[in-house]
Structure 1
Amino acid sequence: MIIADTIAFQYSAYITINSSEPGGKIMEEQEIRNLLESVRARKTELSTFEAKSAHVDCPKKIYDTLSSFSNQDEGGVIMFGVDENQDFAVTGVYDAADIQKKIFGKCREMEPEIRPKMSVAAIEGKQVVAAEIPGVEYTDRPVFYRPAGINNGSYIRIGDADEHMTAYEVYKYQAYRKGLKEDQRLVEDGWELVDSALLHKYLNTLKNRRVNTFEHLADSEILRLQKVEKEGYPTLAGLLVFSKYPQSAFPGLGITAVAVPGTERGDAFADGTRFTDNERIEGSLPEMLEEAMRFVKKNIKYSTVIDDMGNRVDKWQYPLRAVREALLNALIHRDYSRHTEGTPIQLIIYQDRMEIINSGGIYGGFPVKRLGKDSPESRNSTLIKILEFLDISENRYSGVPTMRKEMAKAGLPQPEFEDNGKQFKTILRNIPELTDKQIRINISGLNQKEREAVQYCSVPRTRSEIASQLKLNYNYAANKIIKPLVDRGILISAGKKGRTVMLKAAESVHSQTASQ
């Protein structure tokens, strides 16, 4: 099992590095064998692996997998001559040369066309064909089956299954490719509730900072150049900032804020109460930001401490500056398209964490792991620019670094970011970060996946979160990784009904730290 886990990890790195390079090296026979063994060990297909028997002929329907693999960064491998329904037994292909020809033909039916790398191996005395499908550039997605059209022929990989892309998922790629700016679209509901004082402040700031550009221009001309107005009507960005009640035109563009008595949605007090507080926050974007901060301060704990200078200081359960940055990021980076305008931002305060969820993944497929290190493109550049001149947002991509710095100063775990393409979630946890001394446990003898699970559980995690982090099937992760660690006392159950698994704070004279 240890070998299989290691192989899977190495193969993941291999396909990421090589699959996008035209003419790059193809898989060697031993690599194909190793990949098959890792799949057999898990007893399930992977997000990057699909088995097709092809004992009699080339499968008729593979365009769904061709599409889904092409539409993910890591691509994937389709292995012909292996039957999933027989525990991934090697059945062999009917004719290695002919099946390769037919696969290339099916790849030419995709839009844009796919160029797979083909490998042939002899396993258990039978021929197996491996087709490596590279992930295409984000700007070329979605890859779809041409005869079915873009809406019916576009697929996405979810676990080990190929699912039709939703209309929004297709739109997301098209919007990026076409450079659509939803925050600049016209809103014909007008300026009936305009915040004149804030608009006046904005215009004066522009004139003072851009004297040579705006000093002698009429206010209407400045607003037009700054994309606040078009043809006498506000743009969506202008409405969100300068209208006292944008929800008259867009009822869904608000924030739903709840405080939950437990650590999961659905947890309740003995009398059945599910929320300790519940509000719908509306108004302009600056007003929603301040109202959301008021809600947070009302529903989190704080204590008064004496600092090094002898001053009394309020210490909040979460650093307020980190919370503000998380809320601001959700407000200015969410997707404001017609597909999502009915979906409010969610602010959920649990006992052990705070979650802030907004519609739309990171713009342009920017990887989560690069947040705070590189600068992603802006989905709502007009909105961000307006807020910059109002000194509400810095527009220097400092939000994530600020969150990380503030959480570290407070002795709390680093913020977590999750992007499933449809929603972006920021998680702030209030359980103090464990020190090396506190998390010293005996991890000798653990395989790679077990070590990853232990390190990931330095703060409470659900079983489904662990499975997702390890990129494993839920049942496999629960029975083969989590349960043995719990049985050994390395992971312990914490939280209601044991749904949250956390690292046991145990010490051992002969231990190693989880950071190893």
Structure 2
Amino acid sequence: MLPDELRGFFQQSIEWDSVVGTFDPDEIDGESVGRFLALARTAGRITAVDPDESVDAVLRRLGLIRDGCITNGAVVLFGKDPQKYFPNTVLRIGRFRRADIIIGDHEIRGNLFSQFEEAERIIKNYIGVRYDISEEAMQESFQRKEVWEYPLPAIREALLNALIHRDYFNNTVQTQVRIFDDAIRFHNPGRLPEGVTIEMILREHSSYLRNPKVADVFYRAGLVERYGSGIERIIRALKEEKLPAPEIVSTPLGFTITMRTSPFTDGFLQELGLNDRQIAAFSFLKEHGAITNGQYQKLNSVVASTALKDLNDMVTKHVLERRGTSRRDMHYVLVRGGEGSP
């Protein structure tokens, strides 16, 4: 076998998180184990635990000790300093003005639970949030409602996906989150397994666990579900907020999920000089995804020639794209991304 083929063979036959090492038991952080047990009890996904149960006993129950030795999975999940043994198991978060201009860079170390918590905090500092103080929102909780630029459930799912399904055998690529003005991209060195396609993971599918021990611990903590439903929940969360579906790519370099937000804010639309009819059509498009000349006429109570003039103007201003090969199937969709998109 060639070196890459040999490496791939071992990766398919060996689970990285079950490999044991000569780790000192003192490397495990008892407080991290305790926080996990609290989460697991709240989620109802772990049997009754003796408060005096030792860390060693908990790790054995979780299958993180084999033949009396601590596994890689135990170290990255609960270690005090996992990077002491696995230098590349860090999470990088960058805020980019453009693909070549970075205005914020963070290297997050520590165990996976710490990385998840810190990463969510940093991402929330970089994405926009507005406050809904409408009567409907106030009725729900008597408090203003936070509306994030991206739905937080989608952010959490993408983060967990990157940490759990990472290819930890790969020591050359770090798990990365890149935040742009109109997009956020999650990348981890863990491409889809042989025979699994993007189309397959976009529909109901069995879960493929590259790191089953890591996945099981996050499941017991109540942070993820089984059955490979993470991508489905990301798509659903974005759809509920009327955001574009995520772009998903798997290459030999790894697995990438990109979420986008529309660059067409109210202020931007006004700067373009769109009239009230066109702005109404824009709102219709965000909800329905496409609009025809006939729908534009009905929406704005105008004749066909006026609708065509308005729609063509939006195409010229790069707000819409014209789709279809004949008058019968002609329709318009929103331009995705915008200038400066990564």
Q: TM-score, normalised by structure 2?
A: 0.71
Partners of 2:255 and 2:11 lie apart in 1 by 18
How far off is 1:243 after superposition? Answer: 1.0
- Is it true that 1:290 corresponds to 2:103 in the alignment? no
The correspondence for 2:131, drawn from 301, 304, 314, is 304
**Distance in 2, Cα, partners of 1:491 & 1:188:** 63
2:107 paired residue number: 280
8 A Cα contact 1:203 1:219, kept in partner:
no
Alignment of 1:272-421 (within 5 A): 274-307=101-134, 309-311=136-138, 312-337=144-169, 340-372=170-202, 373-421=204-252
Q: CA deviation at 1:320?
A: 1.0
- Does 1:504 find its partner at 2:321? yes
- Asked whether the 8 Å contact 1:250–1:342 carries over to 2, the reply is no
Do structure 1's residue 255 and structure 2's residue 86 form an aligned pair?
Answer: no
Aligned 1:24-173 pairs, distance under 5 A? 150-151=1-2, 167-168=3-4, 170-173=6-9
After superposition, what is the alpha-carbon deviation per residue over 1:75-121, rounded to whole angstroms, capped at 9, x for unaligned? xxxxxxxxxxxxxxxxxxxxxxxxxxxxxxxxxxxxxxxxxxxxxxx
What is residue 430 of structure 1 aligned with on the other side? 261
- Deviations 1:1-44 (CA, angstroms, capped at 9, x unpaired): xxxxxxxxxxxxxxxxxxxxxxxxxxxxxxxxxxxxxxxxxxxx
The one-letter code sitting in structure 1 at the alignment partner of 2:252 is G
In structure 2, relative to structure 1, the CA distance for the partners of 1:315 and 1:202 (3 Å cut) is closer
Q: CA deviation at 1:408?
A: 0.6
Q: Quickly say closer, same or farther: Cα 1:368–1:201, change in 2 above 3 A.
A: same
Contact kept, 8 Å, 1:188 with 1:234, in 2: the verdict is yes
Look up the match of 1:186: 20
Q: Which amino acid letter does the alignment assign opposite residue 420 of structure 1? A: T
- What is the TM-score with the length of structure 1 in the denominator? 0.49
Which digits, 9 at most, give the CA deviation of each residue in 1:317-371, with x for residues without a partner?
Answer: 111110110010010011111xx13421010011121110000212343111121
1:279 is displaced (CA, Å) by 0.7
SS of the aligned residue for 1:365 comes to coil
Between the aligned partners of 1:313 and 1:368, the Cα distance in structure 2 is: 35
Alpha carbons 2:28, 2:79 under 8 Å: kept: yes
In the alignment, the residues of structure 2 paired with residue 239 and residue 434 of structure 1 have an alpha-carbon distance, to the nearest angstrom, of 45
Any idea what SS the aligned residue of 2:77 has? Answer: helix
Gap change, CA 1:353 and 1:223, over 3 Å in 2:
same
The alignment of Structure 1 onto Structure 2 pairs a total of residues equal to 285
Q: Greater relative contact order (Cα 8 A, min sep 6): structure 1 or 2? A: 2
1:233 Cα offset (Å): 3.9
Instruction: Report what 1:130 is aligned to.
Output: none
Distance 1:493 1:370 in 2: 37
Please give the alpha-carbon distance, in whole angstroms, between the structure 1 residues aligned to 2:288 and 2:224: 36
Contact map agreement 1:251 1:342 (CA 8 A) in 2: no
Code of the aligned partner of 1:186: V
Percent identity, aligned pairs only, is: 23
Tell me which amino acid in the other structure corresponds to 2:153. Answer: R
Q: Rate the CA distance shift 1:318–1:169 in 2: closer, same or farther, 3 A.
A: farther
